[in-house]
C-alpha cells in the first residue's frame, strides 16, 4: 500500500508540473505528447481503414481477406515491428525525426485492424430490409451507404475506433525505447534512475488516460446507439448472411395463446 501512496505523492508533487533544468518536460507536456501520437495515428489509420471497411461491408467482397488480415495484423510483435521500422526509417530520415516517423507508422499499422473490422462488421450488420427499402425508393448505392448503412452502424464503427485508440495508447508507451516522448518516457526514465515512484506514477497516468479516452468513446457509442438503432428494430430482423426472426404475439396461433 505504501508503494502506491508514494507513487501518488510523486504525481501530486508540484515540482513535476513545472519545467526546469532537471525536468524539461513536465507531466502535462508528456500527456499532451501521448495524446498527439494517439490522435495522429488513429486519424491516419481511420482514413485508410474506414473507406475499405465500408466498401467490403457494403459489397460483401473480400470478407475472408479481412478476417485473415485483421487476425494476422493483431498477431504482429509490437516491439519487433517498432524496432524494425526504426532501423529502416533511420536510414532515410534524420535521427531526430526517425523515432517519431517509425513510431507513427507502427502505431498506424496496429490501429488499422480494429477500425477495419468495426467498419466492415457494422455496415454488414445493418438490417437488409432497411437497405432494400432504400434501394426500392430510388437511392443509389452511395446514398444507401452514406444515408442508411453508416448512420445505423455508427456504434460498431465507433467501437472499432475505440479499440484502436486504446491499443495505440498502450503501445505508444513501448515507443519510449526508441527515444519517443509521451508517458512512456516517464516510465523508461524511472527504470534508468531506479525510481519506483516514477515508474508506478507513469503507469498510473497511462491507465487514467486510457480510462478517460475509453469513457468518451463509450459515451459516443451510447448516444449513437440511441439515435441509430430504433429504426432497425423491426419484428423481422435480417442481417446479411443470416436471418433472425423473433416470434411475436401476432404470429402465435390462437389456440396456443388461449392456453
Are 249 and 179 contacting, i.e. CB atoms less than 8 angstroms apart?
no
pLDDT at residue 201, as a whole number? 93
Phi-psi map region of 138: left, alpha, beta (phi>0 left; psi -120 to 50 alpha): left
Distance CA 45, CA 213 (A): 17
Distance CA 236, CA 165 (A): 35
For 2-11+25-233, the fitting CATH number among 1.10.3720.10, 1.20.120.450, 3.40.50.300, 3.90.1170.50 is 1.10.3720.10
Rg for the chain, CA atoms, rounded: 24
Q: Say how far residue 70 (Cα) sits from the centre of its chain.
A: 13
| Side-chain-side CA neighbours of residue 55 (13 Å) | 9
Name, in order, each residue with C-beta under 8 angstroms of 181's C-beta and a sequence gap of 6 or more: 25, 30, 33, 34
pLDDT at residue 244, as a whole number? 38
Distances 190 to 19, 168, 169, 193, 246 between C-alpha atoms, Å: 17, 22, 19, 5, 57
**Angle of the 27-59 helix axis to the 95-124 helix axis, nearest 10:** 40
CB count within 10 Å of CB 177 equals: 15
Q: Residue 160: which of 123, 109, 126, 119 has the closest Cα?
A: 119
Name, in order, each residue with C-beta under 8 angstroms of 174's C-beta and a sequence gap of 6 or more: 78, 79, 82, 184
> What are residue 82's phi and psi, to 5 degrees?
-65, -45
Domain parsing of the chain, residue ranges:
2-11+25-233
Are 35 and 213 contacting, i.e. CB atoms less than 8 angstroms apart?
no
pLDDT at residue 21, as a whole number? 61
> What are residue 216's phi and psi, to 5 degrees?
-65, -45
Using the structure block, give the residue that is written with the C-alpha cell 465507433.
158
Q: What is the mean pLDDT of each run of 10 residues along the chain (259 residues)?
A: 88 87 82 95 96 90 79 80 87 80 92 92 89 90 90 93 94 88 91 91 95 96 66 41 40 45
- Helices then strands, each counted (H, E), the chain: 12, 2
Amino acid at each position: 500500500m505504501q508503494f502506491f501512496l508514494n507513487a501518488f505523492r510523486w504525481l501530486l508533487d508540484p515540482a513535476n508540473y513545472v519545467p526546469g533544468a532537471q525536468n524539461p518536460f513536465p507531466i502535462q507536456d508528456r500527456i499532451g505528447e501521448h495524446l498527439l501520437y494517439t490522435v495522429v495515428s488513429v486519424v491516419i489509420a481511420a482514413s485508410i481503414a474506414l473507406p475499405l471497411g465500408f466498401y467490403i461491408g457494403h459489397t460483401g467482397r473480400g470478407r475472408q481477406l479481412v478476417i485473415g488480415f485483421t487476425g494476422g495484423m493483431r498477431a504482429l510483435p509490437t516491439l519487433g515491428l517498432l524496432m524494425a521500422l526504426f532501423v529502416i526509417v533511420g536510414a532515410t530520415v534524420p535521427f531526430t525525426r526517425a523515432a517519431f516517423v517509425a513510431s507513427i507508422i507502427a502505431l498506424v499499422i496496429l490501429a488499422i485492424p480494429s477500425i477495419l473490422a468495426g467498419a466492415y462488421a457494422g455496415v454488414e450488420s445493418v438490417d437488409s430490409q432497411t437497405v432494400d427499402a432504400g434501394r426500392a425508393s430510388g437511392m443509389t448505392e452511395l446514398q444507401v451507404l452514406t444515408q442508411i448503412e453508416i448512420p445505423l452502424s455508427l456504434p460498431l464503427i465507433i467501437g472499432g475506433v475505440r479499440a484502436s485508440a486504446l491499443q495505440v495508447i498502450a503501445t505508444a508507451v513501448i515507443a519510449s525505447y526508441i527515444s519517443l516522448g509521451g508517458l512512456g518516457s516517464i516510465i523508461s526514465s524511472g527504470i534508468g534512475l531506479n525510481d519506483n515512484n516514477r515508474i508506478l506514477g507513469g503507469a498510473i497516468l497511462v491507465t487514467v488516460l486510457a480510462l478517460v479516452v475509453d469513457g468518451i468513446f463509450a459515451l459516443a457509442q451510447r448516444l449513437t446507439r440511441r439515435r441509430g438503432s430504433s429504426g432497425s428494430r423491426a419484428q423481422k430482423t435480417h442481417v446479411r448472411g443470416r436471418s433472425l426472426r423473433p416470434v411475436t404475439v401476432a404470429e402465435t396461433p390462437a389456440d396456443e395463446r388461449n392456453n
